[in-house]
Amino acid sequence: MGDAGTDAAIEAADVALMGDDPGKVLAIPGLGRERAGDRPRTSCLSILLLAALIPAAVSGLLGITVAVFAHEASELLAVANGLRVARGQAGR
């Protein structure tokens, strides 16, 4: 088999099996259920943080530099959480 369309197929697919064991297909629904809580939890945390930081920065309780730093730190935590989830799925 050639790999002319392999990259396009992987990009278009919802799931790509990267090994020779088709039995891993049965684990896909379990992974989805297992990881379903990560995305809403991260989104809620980001929204709550912004809901606190924006009024505090506008009212002058917090310096704009501190608010931006706190926001960027929360974004880094969200990325780290995504990497943690991806690393957990790659090992299966």
Range with the largest mean pLDDT of 8-17, 19-28, 42-51: 42-51
Mean pLDDT of the chain: 77
Q: CA angle at residue 16 from 19 to 21, to 5 degrees? A: 25
**Does the pLDDT value for residue 92 go beyond 70?**
no
d(CA 63, CA 52): 13
Long-range contacts of 87-90 (CB under 8 A, 24+ apart): 88/35, 89/31, 89/35
Residue 21, pLDDT score: 76
List the domain boundaries for the chain: 20-90
52-88, pLDDT tens digit by residue?
888 988 898 988 888 889 889 888 888 887 787 777 6
Give the separation between CA 3 and CA 8, rounded to whole angstroms.
Answer: 10
Taking the CA atoms of the chain, what radius of gyration do you get in angstroms?
20
